[in-house]
């Protein structure tokens, strides 16, 4: 390796991202696919050569270049996906076995080695439990080739799902573990793991202005005094029953309220909708014949006076942005939420998020969101009543939410990520410790950089 660089930059660093989910519709099952797609697109837009390896649509090319070649999609396990047309997690175990057996050598031989020959730094990022074993094997392969100290490897936990399937001792030995919130950090700390916190992000495009004309059409089509929305998997952790019980309380008080509900395919949804009907709420399944804004409006207009509109169609971000904007409350009231992307997306749209109080580090009660601290539906009802009586507070919170969301756009999150990567690269001796490197971390107003301090004191431990 030649002279050491002083920082991680687009001209000296290649990224490799491993994930089961990705940008294809086949590969999108939840927030992970959105996260990974936006992360990789933002890295590429920032000038970094980026490779994304994911379980891709079997009908798409195995390798595809985007963003003028800066982003390379590697669709994995396509020969298996041919037998499982219903999405990324159908045939999950078969795909996982093939992923672990084939991805490590590909990353080592086809990406890392050529990059190192060009005197580049290599960053390998693994997302979620599916990639934990592959990350360990990549580390082992690099070590056996005498290259491990020349690559920075981070593995990220977005959720606690399948934590019992991870060999934590091996993973912590071979990679640096990260997570998305202080809430997740505390959960993992109790397991003896000490992750770095790098928050999730949203695309800058979500901060764009909302069409007042389209918003007006949507609000009018709902025909209600109060509009509530909830977009989440049908999962007990999401506290759907709390939401429908709050709706029943509002109805009992004579409020004409409508809940726009967009769930998934999970069986818990049947229990929630049965509970809603048992509480005296009218539930209507809403489907659409097309995918234009006019189609969505027509479908919602067919609600026929229902209290709960169960949206049984794909809701693109353009529609969700409008829903979040026109709603009096977006119920992101989870009892366990590692980060809470819906709450942040609501803020970006100028809506009012009713979040839980777990991983939503960005939510400050009565300042930019309403934060639910119990599972009692009275809490939702009370906060809705408060905002109804204080329109000036509604306006102020909507504005404050947009200011908050602007701090979490991917461009800023990536800067955070790069700083954490640089710290790890310094520990591995991949970067030169110079004044220019210090200046990236040091606030000039606090005096000269602490060049004489030992590394842990100068740069912090997370």
Cα→Cα distances 167→131, 163, 186, Å: 12, 9, 19
Q: Is residue 3, in this structure, part of any structural domain at all?
A: no
Instruction: Examine the pLDDT at 456 and tell me if it is beyond 90.
Output: no
**Same domain flag for 334 and 242:** yes
pLDDT tens digits, 231-286 = 999 999 999 999 999 999 999 999 999 999 999 889 999 999 999 999 999 999 99
- CATH number for the domain including 105? 3.40.50.2000
Q: Are residues 298 and 372 in the same domain?
A: yes
Nearest 10 degrees: CA dihedral of 242, 246, 251, 256? -110
Alpha carbon 269 to its chain centroid, in Å, reads: 23
Same domain for 216 and 194: no
Beta sheet of 151-157, edge-to-edge order: 63-66, 71-76, 49-55, 13-18, 121-127, 151-157, 176-179, 196-197
Would you state the structure tokens that stand for residue 156, as one six-digit string? 């990220």
Same domain, yes or no: 103 and 218: no
What pLDDT is attached to residue 303? 86
64 exposed, middle or buried (CB, 10 Å; 0-12, 13-18, 19+)?
middle
What would the mean pLDDT of 439-454 be, rounded to a whole number?
A: 41
The 3-state DSSP class for residue 127 equals strand
Co-location of 338 and 220 in the same domain = yes
SS3 10: coil
Q: How far apart are CA 305 and CA 258, in angstroms?
A: 9
Name the band, by pLDDT with cuts 50, 70 and 90, for residue 99.
Answer: very high
Cα 259 to Cα 257: distance, rounded to the nearest angstrom: 7
Residue range 201-219: average pLDDT? 94
Out of 357, 372, 406, a domain closes at: 406
Of 458 and 176, the structure prediction assigns the larger pLDDT to 176
Residue 418 has phi, psi (to 5 degrees) of -60, -40
The tokens of 370 are what? 């309403």
Considering the entire predicted model, what is its pTM? 0.88
Residues 104 and 185 in one domain: yes
Dist. CA 172–CA 187, nearest whole Å: 16
Token pair in block for residue 38: 């936006």
- Mean predicted confidence (pLDDT) in 16-26: 97
- What end-to-end distance do the CA atoms of the chain give, in Å? 27
Look at residue 120 and give its three-state secondary structure.
Answer: coil
Which tokens belong to 441?
């971390």
Let me know whether 50 and 191 are in one domain: yes
Does pLDDT of 452 surpass 80? no
In a domain, 72, yes or no: yes
Residue 118 has pLDDT above 50, yes or no: yes
C-alpha–C-alpha distance, residues 272 and 263, integer Å: 10
- DSSP string for 265-296: S-THHHHHHHHHHHTT--EEEE--SSSSHHHH
Residue pair 299/323 in contact (Cβ under 8 Å)? The answer is no
The answer to the question of residue 24 being in a domain is yes
3-state DSSP percent of the chain in helix, strand and coil, to 5: 45, 15, 35
Q: How far apart are CA 78 and CA 106, in angstroms?
A: 15
Whole-angstrom distance, CA of residue 48 vs CA of residue 338: 28
What pLDDT sits at residue 30?
78
Instruction: Examine the fold and report which residue of 387, 406, 425 is the final residue of a domain before the chain moves on.
Output: 406
Rounded to whole angstroms, the Cα distance separating 270 from 391 reads 36
Pair (194, 286) in one structural domain: no
| 441 part of a folded domain | no
pLDDT at residue 445 above 70? no
Query: Are 65 and 197 within one domain?
Result: yes
Provide the pLDDT confidence category of residue 3 given band limits of 50, 70 and 90.
Answer: confident
Helix or strand or coil: residue 176? strand
Residue 292 has pLDDT above 70, yes or no: yes
Same domain as 214, residue 178: no
Answer whether residue 424 is part of any domain. no
Model confidence at 444, pLDDT cuts 50, 70, 90, reads very low
Residue 457 has a pLDDT of: 31
Q: What is the pLDDT of residue 90?
A: 96
DSSP state of 409: B
**Contact (Cβ atoms closer than 8 angstroms) between residue 381 and residue 361:** no
How many structural domains compose the chain? 2
Please list the residues that pair with 361 across neighbouring strands: none
CA atoms of 308 and 240, how far apart (whole Å): 12
- Residues 6 or more apart from 353 whose CB is under 8 A from it? 330, 332, 342, 343, 344, 346, 347, 363, 369, 370, 401
Residue 437 belongs to a domain: no
Phi and psi of 314, rounded to 5°? -65, 130
300-358 pLDDT, tens digit each: 998 889 999 999 998 998 999 999 999 999 999 999 999 999 999 999 999 999 999 99
Cα 174 to Cα 138: distance, rounded to the nearest angstrom? 9
| Structural domain range at position 244 | 207-406
pLDDT digits (tens, 9 = 90+) for 73-87: 999 999 999 999 999
Which tokens go with 361? 């580090």
CA–CA gap between residue 366 and residue 55 (Å, rounded): 41
- pLDDT level of residue 1 (50, 70, 90 thresholds): low
Looking at 357, 391, 406, the residue that finishes a domain is 406
């Amino acid at each position: 390796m030649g002279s050491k660089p002083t920082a991680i930059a687009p001209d000296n660093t290649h990224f490799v991202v491993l994930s089961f989910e990705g940008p294809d519709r086949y590969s999108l099952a939840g927030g992970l696919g959105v996260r990974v797609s936006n992360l990789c697109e933002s890295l590429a837009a920032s000038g970094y050569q980026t490779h994304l390896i994911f379980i891709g649509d079997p009908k798409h090319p195995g390798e595809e270049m985007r963003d003028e070649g800066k982003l390379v999609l590697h669709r994995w396990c396509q020969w298996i996906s041919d037998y499982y047309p219903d999405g990324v997690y159908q045939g999950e175990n078969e795909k996982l076995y093939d992923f672990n057996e084939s991805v490590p050598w590909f990353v080592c031989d086809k990406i890392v080695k050529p990059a190192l020959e060009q005197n580049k730094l290599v960053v390998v990022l693994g997302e979620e439990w599916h990639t934990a074993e592959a990350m360990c094997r990549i580390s082992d392969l690099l070590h056996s080739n005498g290259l491990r100290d020349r690559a920075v490897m981070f593995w990220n936990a977005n959720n606690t799902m399948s934590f019992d399937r991870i060999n934590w001792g091996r993973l912590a030995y071979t990679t640096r573990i990260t997570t998305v919130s202080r809430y997740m950090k505390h959960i993992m700390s109790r397991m003896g793991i000490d992750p770095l916190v790098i928050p999730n992000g949203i695309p800058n495009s979500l901060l764009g202005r909302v069409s007042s004309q389209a918003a007006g059409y949507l609000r009018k089509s709902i025909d209600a005094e109060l509009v509530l929305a909830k977009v989440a998997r049908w999962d007990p952790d999401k506290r759907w029953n709390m939401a429908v019980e709050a709706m029943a309380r509002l109805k009992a008080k004579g409020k004409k309220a409508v809940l726009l509900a967009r769930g998934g395919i999970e069986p818990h949804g049947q229990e929630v909708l049965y509970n809603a009907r048992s509480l005296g709420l009218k539930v209507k399944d809403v489907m659409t014949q097309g995918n234009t804004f006019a189609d969505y409006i027509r479908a919602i207009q067919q609600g026929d006076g229902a209290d709960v509109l169960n949206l049984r169609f794909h809701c693109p971000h353009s529609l969700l942005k409008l829903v979040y904007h026109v709603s009096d409350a977006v119920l992101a009231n989870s009892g366990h939420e590692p980060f809470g992307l819906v709450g942040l997306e609501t803020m970006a749209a100028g809506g009012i998020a009713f979040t839980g109080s777990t991983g939503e580090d960005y939510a400050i009660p009565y300042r930019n969101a309403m934060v639910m601290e119990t599972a009692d539906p009275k809490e939702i009802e009370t906060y809705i009543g408060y905002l109804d009586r204080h329109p000036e507070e509604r306006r102020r919170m909507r504005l404050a939410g947009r200011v908050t969301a602007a701090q979490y756009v991917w461009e800023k999150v990536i800067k955070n990520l790069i700083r954490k990567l640089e710290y790890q690269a310094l520990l591995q001796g991949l970067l030169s410790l110079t004044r220019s490197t210090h200046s990236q971390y040091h606030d000039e107003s606090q005096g000269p950089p602490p060049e004489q301090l030992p590394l842990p004191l100068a740069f912090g431990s997370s």
